[in-house]
Each structure stands twice: as structure tokens, then as C-alpha cells.
Amino acid sequence: MKQNLCLSGIYRKVLWAMALMLTWQLALASGDEAHGSGTGEEKEFNAGEMIIDHIVDAHEWHIASMGKTHISVPLPVILFDEGRIVAFMSSKFHHGHEPYKGYRLMTEGEYKGKIVKVKTDGVTVDEEAGLPLDFSITKNVVSIFICVILLCVVFITIARRYRKNPGAPKGLQSWLEPLILFVRDDIAKPAIGEKKYEKYMVFLLTVFFFIFFSNLMGLIPFMPGGANVTGNIAVTLVLALFTFVITTFSGNMNYWKHIVNAPGVPWWLKIPLPLMPVVELIGVITKPFVLMVRLFANIMAGHIVALGFISLIFIFSAMSPWGASVSIVSIIFYVFMGLLELLVAFIQAYVFTLLSALYFGMATEEHHDHTHETEHAH
């Protein structure tokens, strides 16, 4: 009975959070609209542009816009240009309206969202100079840092709890313990094997909780959440690279033998044309590539769809005065999407961790029955 009450309490909280998220999204979108109309000529609400603006990285953390005033948190810009480091706050760009120290944040055109070098007039792009290397602490970087700090605080806290109280888990610990056990017992142990799983636990747990927490933070539409971290290909690229590097370095003789000289394959597939080795090598590269794309595409798509439903409100409102009534449907769909994204947040973290574990398992698999192994190789 108590559990039921507790659960319904959680549902209520989730719904409240959703409602809050929704109002914020509305505020954000309307702010964008105002932003669009505020830049001079009457600009129509462009859903595609608004959505892309929300899911790509940015040099400032936009919170809201009211009329012409934009409320945003400026973030440090760090440029590596011609052997020297240039650092300043992004507020110096005035949302891309003004150049600073010969650099300009582009808001339109080919270099949209990028920092370019401009000629002395401060407007035309200096095509010959090339782009400065941009190591800025962008919105996504800040979001990653927040996530890292959150993870450290949460897990070091519960680790202390574990050390002090070896008995039954309590509080936060009892919420996270099933997830830790899930990663250990349902991902690592079956995929890697009872004997070798332990040394991969650090990576698997870290990657699982990093993706899970980032995904959840991405669902919160306002600061410190709302950044599209796991829906950014650079982030998933790094995560997949970690998996790739660990897989490659833990590969045993059996694993490499499979790639160079796959057993159970006719010889003419290997000599004189090394067809199978090439295929196997492509497979090795494909695995992390797929990891990268899957996570990126899933999370980005979730953000796009959610923003799409919000955009519908503005599109229909612009079409007719009665168009705003479509917001009821939009909101219902948005809430539905939000709940779905909660599920996706977990599933994608699970899938990434599971596949990483499977690759580690393959790399450390001991030599046994051939027929079974050839199945695995694909």
C-alpha cells in the first residue's frame, strides 16, 4: 500500500516536472520568435531554424528572451589561433552583433554558429586566414562539466554510505543500487563472463551513468539541463572511441586471429585477395561507429520531435487566431514524448553499455568451438 502511494507520488512529480518543462519550452520558443522579429525586418517563425538552434552547441547559454532583451549566460571563448591562445567571454560578441579582437560569432550563412576571423571592417569573413581552432567552453561543455560534477557528488556520496553502512541500502543509495546491480549482473556478467568482467566495470558503470544522467538532464528544458549533450555527435564520438580503444587493447590472440585469419572461412576468401580480413577490419571500425550514430541519432531525434510539437503551436497561431487551440493537442503529444524520452534515456544508456560490454566480451573470448565463433564474428 505504501509503495503504491510512493509510486503515485513519483508519477505526480514527473507530471509536474513535465508541466514545468512545457511552460519553459513555450517561453523559450516564444522568446526565439521575439528574437527573430526583433532583428529588424519582420521575420516569420521558422520552426526548422528554431529547432536546429536548440539542438546544436552554442557559445552562450540562452535562458529566455523578452522582446529585444536576451537573458543568457555568457561562456568563456578559448581560441587557438596562429600559435597563441585567445580567451574572453562570449558576451563580448553581443550575440554575434559585434566583432571582438578580429573575431566574430556568425549567426547566419555558411559559418553559422562558428567563430571566424573578420577583416578590419568587422563584417566580411577573412577567407584566407582560415578558422581559428575553437576550444571554447560551450553550452555542451558546461553541461558535460555539470554532469561530471553531479555524477562525482552523487556516486562519491553513496560510496561513502556503502563504506559506512554495510547493511541494507537507504535513500539515494537504494535508488541507484538496482541500476549498479543491473549493469553488473545483466550487462557485464552475461556479456563478458564471470571471470573477466570486473576490470571493465569502471568503464561500463561510468559510461552507463554518464549517458543516463546526460539524457535525463537533456530532458530538463532549462538551465542546468536542456543542452543536447548525448545528442551531439562529438560527445558520442568520444564515448565510442573509448569503447573502441578499450576493445582494441583488451583483444587477445584469439580476437586478432579472427580478424587476420578468420577460422572456418574458405582459404580463397583470404588468399590472394584478403577479402575476409578486410571485412573483419571494417567490422571492427563499424562497431564503434554504430555506437556513436545510434546514441546521437536517438537523443537528437527525441529533442527534435519534442521541439516540433512546440513549434506547431506557433505555426498554427500564426495561421489563424483560432490556431492556438492546436496547442492542446500539441501539449498532450509533448507530454507523451517527454514520457517516451524518459524511457529512451534509459534504453539508450542500456544499449550503449550492453554493446560496449559485448565488444569487450568478444575481444576477451577464449578459443572454443568454431561454429559458434563464426556466428559471433558478424
Closest CB to another protein among residues 110, 127: 110
What are the phi and psi torsion angles at 253 (to 5°)?
-55, -45
Contact 140, 296 (CB under 8 A): no
Task: Give the range of 139-147, 254-262, 309-317, 335-343 binding another protein by CB under 8 A.
Answer: 139-147
Spatial separation of the C-alpha atoms in residues 183 and 352, rounded to whole Å: 11
Told to check if 186 binds another protein by CB under 8 A, we report no
By the 10 Å C-beta count (0-12 exposed, 13-18 middle, 19+ buried), 265 is classed as: middle
Spatial separation of the C-alpha atoms in residues 201 and 224, rounded to whole Å: 28
Told to check if 148 binds another protein by CB under 8 A, we report yes
Cell of 44: 516569420
Total residues contacting another protein (rule CB under 8 A)? 50
Told to check if 181 binds another protein by CB under 8 A, we report yes
Closest CB to another protein among residues 19, 234: 234
Told to check if 289 binds another protein by CB under 8 A, we report no
Least distance CB 258 / another protein (angstroms): 28
Least distance CB 362 / another protein (angstroms): 21
Which positions from 229 through 248 interact with another protein, judged by CB under 8 A? 232-235, 237-239, 241-242
Least distance CB 283 / another protein (angstroms): 22
Angle, helices 275-319/47-55, rounded to nearest 10 degrees: 130
Q: Which of 37, 91, 107, 206 binds another protein (CB under 8 A)?
A: 206
C-alpha dist (Å) from residue 291 to 45, 140, 298: 35, 20, 11
Told to check if 353 binds another protein by CB under 8 A, we report no
User: DSSP letter at 367?
Assistant: P
Binding mask 24-63 for another protein (x = CB under 8 A): ----------------------------x--xxx------
By the 10 Å C-beta count (0-12 exposed, 13-18 middle, 19+ buried), 31 is classed as: buried
- Looking at residue 62, its amino acid is H
Task: Give the range of 37-45, 64-72, 132-140, 348-356 binding another protein by CB under 8 A.
Answer: 132-140
- Intra-chain end-to-end CA distance of the chain, in Å: 49
Told to check if 205 binds another protein by CB under 8 A, we report yes
User: DSSP letter at 138?
Assistant: -
Cell of 74: 555568457
Task: Give the range of 116-124, 228-236, 248-256, 324-332 binding another protein by CB under 8 A.
Answer: 228-236
Told to check if 144 binds another protein by CB under 8 A, we report yes
Which strand (E) or helix (H) includes residue 197?
none
Local structure of 221: helix, strand or coil: coil
Least distance CB 147 / another protein (angstroms): 8
Least distance CB 238 / another protein (angstroms): 4
Task: Give the range of 130-138, 264-272, 306-314, 319-327 binding another protein by CB under 8 A.
Answer: 130-138
Which strand (E) or helix (H) includes residue 87?
strand 84-89
Q: Is the bond into 272 cis (omega within 30 degrees of 0)?
A: yes
User: DSSP letter at 93?
Assistant: G
Closest CB to another protein among residues 18, 292: 292
Residues that bind another protein (CB under 8 A): 52, 55-57, 78, 112-113, 133-138, 140-141, 144-145, 148, 151-152, 155-156, 158-160, 162-163, 166-167, 177, 180-181, 184, 198, 201-203, 205-206, 210, 232-235, 237-239, 241-242, 300
